[in-house]
């Protein structure tokens, strides 16, 4: 019912405000009536408009043309419709804050009519779908804030399409439970990436290569408050971090969250070679050793079988050889016997002589 009221009001020129008026401060004298919407604050000058905790279901239509910063916080916008702002273009709007607005869908061309927009904050919204052309029509957009906005659905692919044509400089993705670097969301030329309070245990070597690719060499990323796991898998990242500390502004405050022995340790005080692996990872080399023992055993068995076959095939030759050997032994023994007998006398003589000395 509320929704219907809003729509009807919208068609009469946007006077949809269900909420009570909150002190419209210092509206420029002579501005057309309603230039600061009743649901919003216009602070000091109509350049800054804040519409807070009102039950707006559409962006307000009657905004001062001169507005630079607009924030609508705590409303229930649900869907940011195509051309939601186009009914009343705001040629000077540079910053648009739409956080805690229960936005689930951003349609194509939703920001049409805001040609000067540089900063868009969609944080704290349960985004479910973002159209490929959601940010079309705002070519100057440089900062996009999506903190705690990607928790409701896996949005990376949709966002990658939507960000394709932008020249973003700063992207905020804090608090999104990310487990890996969102490589698809890093347009060339990005300078700042905020990844604090996510679920990153490490950055893998492949991710570090992407960070060192030509278009992203100027990128600095914030990584605080991630559950970094200080085991051997963290070595590539730690080596990279020590060589590129300036690229992680909060590098010095990064701490290990595991394994237990290193919990709370300052990451930059550790050496990459010093990071060991826990029991789990040790399992793999153990299995490898078992496999190599089995292989070694099989090879030995094969050699044994070949040896036995050679023996079997050569049994006549071996018999002859044994016979010859026995003959040779006998000759040798006879020779020895003879020599022994010959030598016996002098030995005995010396043995008898000795006590007489
Ligand atoms: C608009 O927001 C920007 C960035 O947050 C800020 O620097 C600027 O002072 C704000 N403008 C007004 C009129 O408050
Ligand atoms: C927000 O709006 C949607 C549709 O416009 C409605 O279904 C929902 O109940 C609203 N939520 C609140 C908390 O008012
Ligand atoms: C990206 O830009 C190209 C040309 O600049 C345009 O043809 C295309 O439609 C744009 N794509 C989106 C999703 O806006
Ligand atoms: C970190 O992010 C989670 C959601 O992923 C959120 O619930 C929590 O409040 C955030 N913590 C801080 C300190 O912002």
The mean pLDDT of 271-298, rounded to a whole number, is: 65
Q: 41-43 and 48-52: which strand pairing?
A: antiparallel
Angle at 127 between CA 187 and CA 136, to 5 degrees: 45
Residues pairing with 266 in the sheet: 255
Per-residue pLDDT at 310:
83
Query: Residue 343: pLDDT band by 50, 70, 90 thresholds?
Result: low
Q: What is the mean pLDDT of the chain?
A: 80
- Range 288-296, long-range pairs (CB < 8 A, 24+ positions): none
Give the range among 232-236, 269-273, 284-288, 328-332 with minimum mean pLDDT.
Answer: 284-288
Other Cβ atoms closer than 10 A to 353: 9
Judge if the beta carbon of residue 347 lies within 6 A of ligand 2: no
Per-residue pLDDT at 338:
61
The mean pLDDT of 61-69, rounded to a whole number, is: 83
- The percentage of the chain sitting over the pLDDT mark of 70, rounded to a whole number, equals 76
Residues pairing with 69 in the sheet: 48, 95
Residues pairing with 220 in the sheet: 192
322: Cβ contacts below 8 Å, ≥ 6 apart = none
Distance 301 CA to ligand 1 centre (A): 80
Give the CB-side neighbour count of residue 209, counting CA atoms within 13 A.
3
Per-residue pLDDT at 53:
57
At residue 84, does pLDDT exceed 80?
yes
Q: Which of 174, 197, 250 has the most ligand 4 atoms within 8 A of CB, as the residue to mutate?
A: 197
Domain of residue 274, residue span:
25-292
pTM of the predicted protein model: 0.71
> For the segment 124-165, what is each residue's pLDDT rounded down to a tens digit?
999 999 999 999 999 999 999 999 999 999 999 999 999 998
Nearest CA to ligand 2 atom 8: 76
Task: Let me know if residue 299 belongs to a domain.
Answer: no
Judge if the beta carbon of residue 180 lies within 6 A of ligand 3: no
Angle at 130 between CA 125 and CA 136, to 5 degrees: 115
Task: Let me know if residue 342 belongs to a domain.
Answer: no
Nearest CA to ligand 1 atom 8: 69
> For the segment 3-47, what is each residue's pLDDT rounded down to a tens digit?
332 332 333 323 333 222 222 332 333 334 346 676 677 766 667
The mean pLDDT of 260-274, rounded to a whole number, is: 93
Exposure letters 287-298 (e unless 16+ CB within 10 A, then b): eeeeeeeeeeee
How many residues are given for the chain?
A: 357
Provide residues with CB under 6 Å of ligand 1. Answer: 47-48, 68-69, 95
Asked if the peptide bond before residue 56 counts as cis, ω within 30 degrees of 0, the response is no
Per-residue pLDDT at 12:
30
Nearest CA to ligand 3 atom 12: 133
Task: Let me know if residue 150 belongs to a domain.
Answer: yes
Nearest CA to ligand 3 atom 8: 165
Task: Let me know if residue 84 belongs to a domain.
Answer: yes
Where residue 220 sits, what CATH number does that domain have?
A: 3.80.10.10
Q: Tokens for 252?
A: 């010095």
Task: Let me know if residue 262 belongs to a domain.
Answer: yes
Residue among 3, 61, 58, 65 at smallest CA distance from 28: 65
Give dist(CA 172, CA 222) in Å, integer.
9
Per-residue pLDDT at 105:
96
The total of structural domains in the chain comes to: 1
Task: Let me know if residue 276 belongs to a domain.
Answer: yes
Task: Let me know if residue 349 belongs to a domain.
Answer: no
Task: Let me know if residue 4 belongs to a domain.
Answer: no
Distance 6 CA to ligand 3 centre (A): 33
Give dist(CA 133, CA 164) in Å, integer.
9
Per-residue pLDDT at 17:
33
Give dist(CA 87, CA 70) in Å, integer.
16
Give dist(CA 194, CA 182) in Å, integer.
11
């Amino acid at each position: 019912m509320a929704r219907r009221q809003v729509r009807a009001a919208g068609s009469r020129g946007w006077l949809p405000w269900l909420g009570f008026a909150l002190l419209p401060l210092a509206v420029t004298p002579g501005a057309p009536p309603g230039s600061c919407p009743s649901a919003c604050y216009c602070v000091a000058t109509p350049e800054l408009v804040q519409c807070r905790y009102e039950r707006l279901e559409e962006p307000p239509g009657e905004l001062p043309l001169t507005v630079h910063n607009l924030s609508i916080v705590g409303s229930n916008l649900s869907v940011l419709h195509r051309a939601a702002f186009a009914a009343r273009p705001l040629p000077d709007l540079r910053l648009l804050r739409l956080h805690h607005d229960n936005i689930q869908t951003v349609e194509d061309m939703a920001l049409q009519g805001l040609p000067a927009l540089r900063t868009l904050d969609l944080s704290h919204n349960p985004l479910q779908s973002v159209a490929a052309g959601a940010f079309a029509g705002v070519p100057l957009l440089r900062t996009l804030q999506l903190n705690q906005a990607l928790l409701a659905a896996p949005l990376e692919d949709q966002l990658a399409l939507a960000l394709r044509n932008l020249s973003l400089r700063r992207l905020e993705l804090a608090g999104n439970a990310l487990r890996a670097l969102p490589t698809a969301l890093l347009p060339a030329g990005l300078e700042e990436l905020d990844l604090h309070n996510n679920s990153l245990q490490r950055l893998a070597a492949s991710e570090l290569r992407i960070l060192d690719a030509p278009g992203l060499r100027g990128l600095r990323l914030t990584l605080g408050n991630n559950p970094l796991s200080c085991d051997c898998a963290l070595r590539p990242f730690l080596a990279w971090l020590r060589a590129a500390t300036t690229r992680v502004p909060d590098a010095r405050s990064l701490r290990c969250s595991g394994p237990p022995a290193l919990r709370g340790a300052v990451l930059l005080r550790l050496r990459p070679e010093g990071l060991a692996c826990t029991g789990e990872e040790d399992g793999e080399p153990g299995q490898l050793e078992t496999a190599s023992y089995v292989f070694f055993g099989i090879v030995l068995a094969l050699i044994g079988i070949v040896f036995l076959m050679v023996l079997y095939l050569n049994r006549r030759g071996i018999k002859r050889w044994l016979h010859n050997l026995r003959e040779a032994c006998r000759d040798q023994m006879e020779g020895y016997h003879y020599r022994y007998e010959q030598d016996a006398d002098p030995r005995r003589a010396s043995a008898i002589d000795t006590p007489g000395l």
